[in-house]
Amino acid sequence: MKDISQSIPKEDHVEKVSGKSLYVSDIKMDHILYAKTVRSIHPKAKILNIEIPELPKDYFVIDYHDVPKENYVKMIFNDWPVFAEKQVNYIGEPIMLIVGKNKQIINEIIEKIKIKYQVLKPTFEYQSSVIHKSFKKGDIKKAFSKPFKTISYTYETGYQEQAYIEPQGFIVYPEADGKITLIGSIQCPYYVKNAVVNTLGCPDDKVRVIQPSVGGAFGGKEEFPSVMACQLAVAVHKIKQPIKMIFEREEDMENTTKRHPSKITLSAAVDKDYRILGLKAHVSLDSGAYIGLSGVVLARAMIASTSAYTIDHLDITGDVYETNTVPNGAFRGFGAPQMIFAIEMLIHHIAKDLNIDPFSLRLAHLAKQGDKTSTSGIFRDPIIMEKMIEKATEISSYHEKVKAYQDPQIWKGIGMSWFLHGCGFTGSGESTHINAKVKLRKDSNDHVYLLVAAVDMGQGAKTSLKKIVVQTLGCEAKNVSFDNPDTDYILDSGPTVASRTTMIVGGLLARAALKLKQTWVDGKEMEVIKQYQQPEYIKWDEEAMIGDAYPAYSWGVNIVEVEVSPVTYQTKVKGIWSVYDVGKAIDDRLVLGQADGGIAQGVAYGYLEVMKHEQGKLRQKTMTDYIIPTSVDMAKTETVIMENPYILGPYGAKGVGELTLVGGAPAVALAIEQAINKKIHKIPATPEYIMELIKS
Amino acid sequence: MIKFNLNGKDVEVNLDPSSRLLDVLRNHFNLTGPKEGCGEGECGACAVLVDGCIIHSCCFPLANVNEKEVVTIEGFSTTKRYQTLAQSMLEEGGSQCGICTPGMMIAAESLLNQNPKPTDEEIRIGISGNLCRCTGYNMIVKAIQLAAKKGDGLW
């Protein structure tokens, strides 16, 4: 049997390079209407009165009055309105849609709409906590009772915009049997379907969701599309005609979810042998105006508090704060990038304050198999970080460069991060919230179809999931198909998020394929369904946040080298080296592609990507002023994948996608820190911030 | 009336000369290979060739193509040079979500037209007007290097 890691042609390669692949904006339909959103211009205000001009024939206003059932978007926390009713809570909050066949006329109507507001005092600070979580490990009081030294720092991180190149969009249309069908740029077909069913209050089989090609997502198309979907479904329910709504870049960037800004305070108790006895952490996340997924993001951030290290005594708390800004949400890493930045900086800052070697301090605390995790679960599987660290330092000449760049006159630096990422949903999420099911169907010609909800948004799920099935069946690839998800035909294998697709969905597919193979009868139509079962040894107390937070962990080492200009304080990234343990790569080239793209986003989060708001109004709203790396900004990368098969993963595979982002920011920040010889406490480490540090 | 050659065929259109070329291509000619990513000439997803050079069709008025040759990814994909580039992109993993890919292919073609043997740095500059959020660019740079090598003499 062929080694599954050996790369095969990407399933959708030809349609992608030739431009034949159809994204939602490429899809045409007869008698289509267009919709545009009327949005709040205040961060917080009561809506007193709305004056709508006389509408031309066949133009429509859709607002909360038209919602048949629930005027909130069903997510994990159900507080996000489909349309604002009496009050708006952020600039850009949708109040109504204007629908009609001519975009110009729609704009003219919107210009004539008069909304009278009573402006209220907005909040932009970490003041009003809406979710509080905490957990403890060991005996924190004892750890802090007589420390040799207590070292405390506060770290801050900014917004990050997903900046997928394809903006959000949907086409929604009525079908003959009263069904409403939605085609959209989405990661999670069933999140959209369930939200629309909830808002329309209709039977489950009256909503159908189809995924076309998706032009990048990175978490940005996890929960936000449900908002657009509910609004458009309400409109189609009323008007009974197809409607297309594709955001322009500015509308997308100003109004869709972003990575939560955070403020993290860490306090470590260290003994005289430089052992970190205990760690206290408090994480503040800015959720924006609605909670949405913020509670889950907070949980992942808190659980990542010790990252790749073992610290025996912990007191970890966190709050989600509501502010009158655009709601924040999922973005590759999901809370972990903020925390991993903070803990990596802290370890270095402790070493600096104690005047000891940071590398040795890290190594002394590196997690080992059998250690207790931050939430008092167990690292059951082998951890090969020492080997990975050795490899990473070797290929990057890390130790030599650290020495060579000691002289601050050189303005060069090299930084390193060690990290892990929990694969799949946090805690019992997979069994209690998701409960994934997959289906394999074989027709009478012995052709096999994968009927799952996994979305290929560029990461290669079409290739890797099909490959798992083909390899398990031992058949030819041409006899297996994996079409884009259409909820009328597939089963809910869960959302395409949380680094769960290969490990969880792929794992279920491998089991289904094995069953199909064992029961295979030539020429007979057959179906195999497999459902997720949580491994019995996994115990998780969601309330107390105690137990095994994840079934498995992927691990990584990033090393970044920079040069900082002594004149402009601009950072140039000179080289990036990474070593990852993803269990087993299902396809080497796909994993290397994730590695390159993930680290580009992670490193840019650390020094390049700036987004801020002023009184609730985002200052960056286009590709011109929100800077993502170009080919010139991006350094060469060298990535090594080290095998460490996970017993319950398909062919040993664990999660990949998010792991490749979470270590980028601390690695580049530590590199800049060395180059400028000043401690960095916030990201992005922009030239302006570097100047402040140098002049202070 | 604006006359131009589109993907090898002479065409005439009677549309507002200030229309964005991107809209004319996508809506009038149903060529949806060029994409709108930003609408302001930053991302390059809408790139097409005008007389062999890359332009951002979202910022290009229709009038400017009068009497010129326009090639979109649909036209380019019938060439041997495309086949070489496409194969190199496959081997190096240069395409992920695919939304930037047609524009990236056009950028590579435009670059190789002007510089058939570009260095790594020249490739990076050559495609720097095309944003990709998935790949981090390295695999695209390698693909263009490979195409330049394999397609020796084609450009």
Mark A124-144 as b/e (b = at least 16 C-beta within 10 Å): eebeeeebebebbbbebeebb
B80-150 — its CATH code? 1.10.150.120
H helix or E strand, kind and range, residue B126: helix B120-126
The Cα of B99 is separated from the nearest Cα of chain A by a number of Å equal to: 5
Mark A302-326 as b/e (b = at least 16 C-beta within 10 Å): bbbbbbbbbbbbbbbbbbbbbbbbb
How many CB atoms are closer than 10 A to CB A619? Answer: 11
Q: Is-cis flag, bond preceding A684, omega within 30?
A: yes
Identity of the residue in B38, B105, B135 whose CB atom sits nearest the CB atom of A623: B38
**Helix, strand, or coil (residue A166):** coil
Measured between alpha carbons, how far is A500 from A359 in angstroms, rounded to an integer? 32
Restricting to B residues 109-148, those with a Cβ less than 8 Å away from any Cβ of A are 123-125, 127-141
Provide the token pair at B25: 């291509």
Whether residues B131 and A597 touch (CB distance < 8 A) is answered with no
Measured between alpha carbons, how far is A544 from A563 in angstroms, rounded to an integer? 45
Measured between alpha carbons, how far is B98 from B93 in angstroms, rounded to an integer? 11
Measured between alpha carbons, how far is A506 from A651 in angstroms, rounded to an integer? 9
CB-based contact, A12 to chain B, within 8 Å: yes
Whether residues B35 and A636 touch (CB distance < 8 A) is answered with no
In a domain, A154, yes or no: no
Same domain flag for A209 and A323: no
CA angle B88, B89, B95 (to 5 degrees): 175
CB-based contact, B90 to chain A, within 8 Å: yes
- Give burial (CB, 10 Å; 0-12/13-18/19+) of A145: exposed
Same domain flag for A208 and A267: no
Q: What pLDDT, on a 0 to 100 scale, did the predictor assign at position A155? A: 98
Q: What pLDDT, on a 0 to 100 scale, did the predictor assign at position B130? A: 98
Same domain flag for A68 and A178: yes
**Helix, strand, or coil (residue A629):** coil
B2-76 — its CATH code? 3.10.20.30
H helix or E strand, kind and range, residue A73: none
* Residue of A171, A631, A668 best to disrupt the B interface, most CBs of B under 10 A: A631
Eight-class DSSP state of A545: T
Q: What pLDDT, on a 0 to 100 scale, did the predictor assign at position A57? A: 97
Same domain flag for A519 and A387: no
Q: What pLDDT, on a 0 to 100 scale, did the predictor assign at position A537? A: 86
Identity of the residue in B34, B40, B135 whose CB atom sits nearest the CB atom of A596: B135
Contact (Cβ atoms closer than 8 angstroms) between residue A41 and residue B117: no
The Cα of B82 is separated from the nearest Cα of chain A by a number of Å equal to: 9
Q: Using a CB-CB distance cutoff of 8 angstroms, which residues of chain B are in contact with residue A596? A: 135-139
In a domain, A150, yes or no: no
Q: Using a CB-CB distance cutoff of 8 angstroms, which residues of chain B are in contact with residue A13? A: 86, 89-90, 95
Low-confidence ranges of chain A (pLDDT < 50): none
Whether residues A458 and B97 touch (CB distance < 8 A) is answered with yes
Same domain flag for A507 and A583: no
Whether residues B73 and A163 touch (CB distance < 8 A) is answered with no
Provide the token pair at B134: 């998935």
In a domain, A453, yes or no: yes
The Cα of A600 is separated from the nearest Cα of chain B by a number of Å equal to: 5
Q: What pLDDT, on a 0 to 100 scale, did the predictor assign at position A693? A: 98
- Give burial (CB, 10 Å; 0-12/13-18/19+) of A27: middle
Contact (Cβ atoms closer than 8 angstroms) between residue A14 and residue B86: yes
Q: Using a CB-CB distance cutoff of 8 angstroms, which residues of chain A are in contact with residue B47? A: none
Q: What is the pLDDT of residues B40-53, one digit of tens each?
A: 999 999 999 999 99
CB-based contact, A9 to chain B, within 8 Å: yes
In a domain, A36, yes or no: yes
Identity of the residue in A13, A457, A599 whose CB atom sits nearest the CB atom of B90: A13
Identity of the residue in A19, A214, A249 whose CB atom sits nearest the CB atom of B102: A19
Q: Half-sphere exposure of residue A516, counting CA atoms within 13 Å on the CB side?
A: 33
Can you tell me the ipTM of this complex? Answer: 0.98
Q: What is the pLDDT of residues A120-150, one digit of tens each?
A: 999 999 999 999 999 999 999 999 998 899 9
What is the full DSSP assignment across A595-613? HHHHHHHHHHHHHT----E
Q: What pLDDT, on a 0 to 100 scale, did the predictor assign at position A432? A: 86
Q: What pLDDT, on a 0 to 100 scale, did the predictor assign at position A433? A: 86
Determine the structural domain holding residue A416 and report its residue range: 133-141+258-426+544-695
Identity of the residue in A22, A165, A597 whose CB atom sits nearest the CB atom of B45: A165
Q: Checking phi first, is residue A162 left (phi over 0); if not, alpha (psi -120 to 50) or beta?
A: alpha
Measured between alpha carbons, how far is A314 from A301 in angstroms, rounded to an integer? 14
Whether residues A19 and B140 touch (CB distance < 8 A) is answered with no
φ/ψ (deg, to 5) at A580 = -125, 145
Q: What pLDDT, on a 0 to 100 scale, did the predictor assign at position A76? A: 86
Mark A60-82 as b/e (b = at least 16 C-beta within 10 Å): bbbbbebbeebbbbbbebebbbb
In terms of DSSP bridges, do strands A180-184 and A45-51 run parallel, antiparallel, or are they unpaired?
Answer: unpaired
Provide the token pair at A694: 């140098």
Same domain flag for A370 and A433: no
In a domain, A567, yes or no: yes
Give me the number of domains chain A comprises: 3
CB-based contact, B78 to chain A, within 8 Å: no
Same domain flag for A248 and A295: no
Q: Using a CB-CB distance cutoff of 8 angstroms, which residues of chain B are in contact with residue A18? A: 33, 73-74, 77, 86, 102
φ/ψ (deg, to 5) at A602 = -70, -45
CB-based contact, A249 to chain B, within 8 Å: yes
Measured between alpha carbons, how far is A504 from A502 in angstroms, rounded to an integer? 6
Contact (Cβ atoms closer than 8 angstroms) between residue A499 and residue A424: yes
Contact (Cβ atoms closer than 8 angstroms) between residue A553 and residue A421: yes
Residues whose CB falls within 8 Å of the CB of residue A606, separated by 6 or more in sequence, listed in order: A341, A664, A665, A666, A667, A668, A669, A683, A684, A685
Low-confidence ranges of chain B (pLDDT < 70): none
Eight-class DSSP state of B61: B
How many CB atoms are closer than 10 A to CB A191? Answer: 28
Eight-class DSSP state of A430: I
Whether residues B138 and A634 touch (CB distance < 8 A) is answered with yes
Q: What pLDDT, on a 0 to 100 scale, did the predictor assign at position A408? A: 87
Same domain flag for A197 and A222: yes
Same domain flag for A273 and A405: yes
Q: Using a CB-CB distance cutoff of 8 angstroms, which residues of chain A are in contact with residue B84? A: none
Identity of the residue in A9, A163, A593 whose CB atom sits nearest the CB atom of B135: A593
All structural domains of chain B with their residue ranges: 2-76, 80-150
Residue the block writes with tokens 């110009």: A104
Q: Which of A7, A12, A9, A6 is nearest to A455 (CA)?
A: A12
Q: What pLDDT, on a 0 to 100 scale, did the predictor assign at position A121? A: 98
Same domain flag for A397 and A446: no
Instruction: Give every strand in the sheet of A114-119, ordered side by side.
Output: A87-88, A45-51, A114-119
Q: What pLDDT, on a 0 to 100 scale, did the predictor assign at position A536? A: 87
In a domain, A14, yes or no: no
Q: Half-sphere exposure of residue A61, counting CA atoms within 13 Å on the CB side?
A: 18
Residues whose CB falls within 8 Å of the CB of residue A341, separated by 6 or more in sequence, listed in order: A155, A157, A606, A665, A666, A669, A683
Identity of the residue in B38, B97, B128 whose CB atom sits nearest the CB atom of A622: B38
* Torsion angle of C-alpha atoms B92, A187, A289, A266, degrees rounded to 10: -50
In a domain, A556, yes or no: yes
Contact (Cβ atoms closer than 8 angstroms) between residue A598 and residue A660: yes
pTM of the model: 0.98
Q: Which of B35, B106, B154 is nearest to A169 (CA)?
A: B35
Mark A164-185 as b/e (b = at least 16 C-beta within 10 Å): bbbbbbbbbbbeeeeebbbbbb
Same domain flag for A222 and A351: no
Instruction: From residue B75, give the alpha-carbon distance in Å to each of A538, B32, B60, B99, B105.
Output: 55, 12, 19, 18, 12
Q: Checking phi first, is residue A352 left (phi over 0); if not, alpha (psi -120 to 50) or beta?
A: alpha
Rounded to the nearest angstrom, the gap between the alpha carbon of residue A199 and the centroid of all alpha carbons in its chain is 25
Picking from A238, A255, A272, the residue at the C-terminal end of a domain is A255
Contact (Cβ atoms closer than 8 angstroms) between residue A401 and residue A577: no
Contact (Cβ atoms closer than 8 angstroms) between residue B59 and residue B20: yes
Q: What pLDDT, on a 0 to 100 scale, did the predictor assign at position A79? A: 95
Provide the token pair at B36: 């709108």
CATH topology match: B2-76 vs B80-150: no
CATH, residue A90: 3.30.365.10
3-state secondary structure labels for all residues of A274-334: CCEEEEEEEEEEEEECCCCCHHHHHHHHHHHHHCCECCCEEEEEEEEEECCCCCCCCCCCC
CB-based contact, A3 to chain B, within 8 Å: no
CB-based contact, B40 to chain A, within 8 Å: yes
Same domain flag for A198 and A235: yes
Q: What pLDDT, on a 0 to 100 scale, did the predictor assign at position A609? A: 98
The Cα of B30 is separated from the nearest Cα of chain A by a number of Å equal to: 9
Give CB contacts under 8 A, 24+ apart, made by A351-356: A352/A679, A353/A149, A353/A151, A354/A149, A354/A151, A354/A270, A354/A274, A356/A274
In a domain, A434, yes or no: yes
Contact (Cβ atoms closer than 8 angstroms) between residue A119 and residue A106: no
Q: Which of A497, A337, A333 is nearest to A424 (CA)?
A: A497
How many CB atoms are closer than 10 A to CB A538? Answer: 18
Whether residues A167 and B33 touch (CB distance < 8 A) is answered with no
Measured between alpha carbons, how far is A72 from A79 in angstroms, rounded to an integer? 6
Q: What pLDDT, on a 0 to 100 scale, did the predictor assign at position B152? A: 86
Q: What pLDDT, on a 0 to 100 scale, did the predictor assign at position A441? A: 98
Sequence length of chain B is 155
